[in-house]
Amino acid sequence: MKPASIMDYRELARRRLPPMFFEYIDGGAYAEVTLRRNVEDLEAIALRQRVMRDMSVVDLSMESLGQTWAMPVGLAPVGMAGMYARRGETQASRAAAGAGVPFCLSTVGICSVEEVASAGTAPWFQLYMLKDRGYMRALLERAKAAGCPVLVFTVDLPVPGSRYRDVKSGFTGATGLSGAANTAWQGMTHPAWSWDVMLKGGPHTLGNVQGAIPDGRRVNDFLGWIARNFDRSVTWKDIEFVREVWDGPIVIKGILDPEDARAAVRAGAQGVVVSNHGGRQLDAVKSSITALPRIVDAVGSDLEVYMDGGVRSGLDVLKALALGAKACFLGRPWAYALGAGGEPMISRMLGVIRSEITTAMILTGCNDIRTAGKALLDG
């Protein structure tokens, strides 16, 4: 199948990946109410078609946090991307650089920040508040040394959400021989993935936390360490600890409430990502696009407001910008594309997004993405 839309990349990833990894990408928390809301609420927004506006020149470029973006899209942090394609984080980083957009590396990526930076472009670096503050400090120092320009600090994961699909697929809950047998069987029944990832894509560790457990050999060893180190006691005052080491821009990811957005401003953040973790944490909360306007009204003049969650097309990107977002970060779309065929598929997917944004701009009469506002919406 020749992919034409994000859902086509999803289908290709479903075919190629073992079920445990596809369901990990695709699923959400509990009954997946928020996962569906993210998509459906964006679909419900109507764009306002305009005609005869001289759209011979269309500019998608913008600037944010000292960087020029070729279009208002970045690649969000996605865990364990190196299990979807060989050294997946490095492939995604190269594709993002080729498209002129930022790539954000997850703390729980298979590839380390040093490996990704050595592939050509230093990524934005995503981090959680960890109980092991010493190791957290070391991670921040490594990110600085690698040249990472922005720290994305995720605050909506003091405890992992419950994801039923991961239990059913065997991604979580299966241990010992049963877990090993399930993994082996899923790999055997997906030989192209096994050749690319299991045979050619090692080591299969979490590169950023490998130093915390030197004897760790499997992904699950490191995921266990991460799970034990999520810190439920974290407060806004802990940003002071981060600032002791990190002197660059900080973007707070996981904001859904205006009061929390105001707290991020007081904590000295330079940006926030309006996000419900792609519907993977607390189910039954509002969609990101529904939360966005109130947060923009509360803090949009004080810092950069980005959004993720439910974005499946360039039209969705323009809708979010019309409601005040500076840019959108894509998570599942690039994970699907990576699982479908690696870096070339991500590059192609980003080209699709760019084309869709351009078309939507032309047909709404917006020739400069920096001027996108509520006038682009109908109703």
Whether residue 173 has pLDDT greater than 70 = no
Region 174-196: what's the mean pLDDT? Answer: 75
DSSP 3-state assignment of 355? helix
Helix, strand, coil shares of the chain, percent, nearest 5, are 50, 10, 40
Q: Which tens digit of pLDDT belongs to each residue from 70-107?
A: 999 999 999 999 999 999 999 999 999 999 999 999 99
Distance CA 113, CA 106 (A): 9
Of 94, 163, 277, 312, catalytic? 277
DSSP 3-state assignment of 217? coil
How many angstroms separate the most distant Cα atoms in the chain? 66
Region 44-58: what's the mean pLDDT? Answer: 97
At 182 the pLDDT is: 72
pLDDT higher at 220 or 33: 33
* Residue 177 binned pLDDT confidence (cut-offs 50, 70, 90): very low
pTM comes to 0.95
Region 297-314: what's the mean pLDDT? Answer: 98
At 179 the pLDDT is: 61
What is the percent of the chain where pLDDT is above 70?
Answer: 97
Distance CA 160, CA 152 (A): 18
At 379 the pLDDT is: 82
Whether residue 123 has pLDDT greater than 60 = yes
Left, alpha or beta for 190 (phi > 0: left; psi -120 to 50: alpha)? beta
Distance CA 330, CA 73 (A): 7
Distance CA 228, CA 130 (A): 9
Contact 200, 86 (CB under 8 A): yes
DSSP 3-state assignment of 286? coil
Whether residue 37 has pLDDT greater than 50 = yes
User: How are beta strands 73-75 and 250-255 bridged, if at all?
Assistant: unpaired
Cβ density class 56-84: b for 16+ within 10 Å, e for less: eeeebebebbeeebebbbbbbbbbbbbbb
Region 13-23: what's the mean pLDDT? Answer: 96
Whether residue 149 has pLDDT greater than 60 = yes
Homologous superfamily in CATH for domain 6-372:
Aldolase class I (3.20.20.70)
Distance CA 13, CA 239 (A): 37
Whether residue 49 has pLDDT greater than 50 = yes
At 231 the pLDDT is: 86
- 10 Å CB burial of residue 192 (0-12, 13-18, 19+) is exposed
Distance CA 3, CA 22 (A): 17
Average pLDDT of the residues of the chain: 94
Q: Hey, what are 1's tokens?
A: 């199948």
Region 60-64: what's the mean pLDDT? Answer: 98
* Residue 174 binned pLDDT confidence (cut-offs 50, 70, 90): low
Q: Is 204 a catalytic residue?
A: no
* Residue 185 binned pLDDT confidence (cut-offs 50, 70, 90): confident
Region 195-216: what's the mean pLDDT? Answer: 88
At 181 the pLDDT is: 64
Q: How far is CA 108 from the centre of its chain?
A: 12
Supply the DSSP string of 162-198, one letter for each residue: P-HHHHHHTSSS--HHHHHHHHHHHHHT-HHHIIIII
Half-sphere exposure of 291 (CA within 13 A, CB side): 26
